[in-house]
Amino acid sequence: MMNKPGATGLRRLVNATQYSIKGLKAAFKYEEAFRQELLLLPVILILAVWLSKSGLEFALLFGSYWLVLIVELINSGIEAVVDRIGPEHHPLSGQAKDIGSAIVMLAMSLTFVTWIAVIVFR
């Protein structure tokens, strides 16, 4: 087992929260897709409250969209690491970015299917 130096206990939790907030700010500042998806969040929240007939339906509707935001952050992280490696084109760099994009597309597809299922199969 590796011993990683660093904070423990409450200090670790505080540091992790600060890093997470820093990451959200960076995503908002540098990632257009994340900003666009975040702009939809109030609309999605209102529609999810209005359309859902139960807590489970609300969780499915809102949670499926929340997943899109999560995977968009993962995709942005993948792209940042690939870009950090170097600006030259490499097939694996393109593959990593394409796979990250596919992850986002699948999450969006899941959101679409979830919303249709909740609306149609009541």
Which domains are assigned to the chain? 32-120 (1.10.287.3610)
pLDDT grade for 2, boundaries at 50, 70 and 90: low
104/108 Cα distance (integer angstroms): 6
pLDDT value of residue 122: 83
Q: Using CB atoms within 10 A of its CB, is residue 16 exposed (0-12), middle (13-18) or buried (19+)?
A: exposed
The pLDDT tens digits of the residues spanning 15-63 come to 999 999 999 999 999 999 999 999 999 999 999 999 999 999 999 999 9
- Asked whether the predicted pLDDT for residue 84 surpasses 90, the reply is yes
pLDDT at 6 over 90: no
Which residue type sits at 27?
A
Residue 40 CA neighbour count, 13 Å, CB half: 13
The residues that are catalytic are 72
**Residue 24: predicted pLDDT:** 98
Task: Name the band, by pLDDT with cuts 50, 70 and 90, for residue 72.
Answer: very high
Residue 59: what pLDDT? 98
Residue 1 has pLDDT above 90, yes or no: no
pLDDT digits (tens, 9 = 90+) for 86-112: 989 999 999 999 999 999 999 999 999
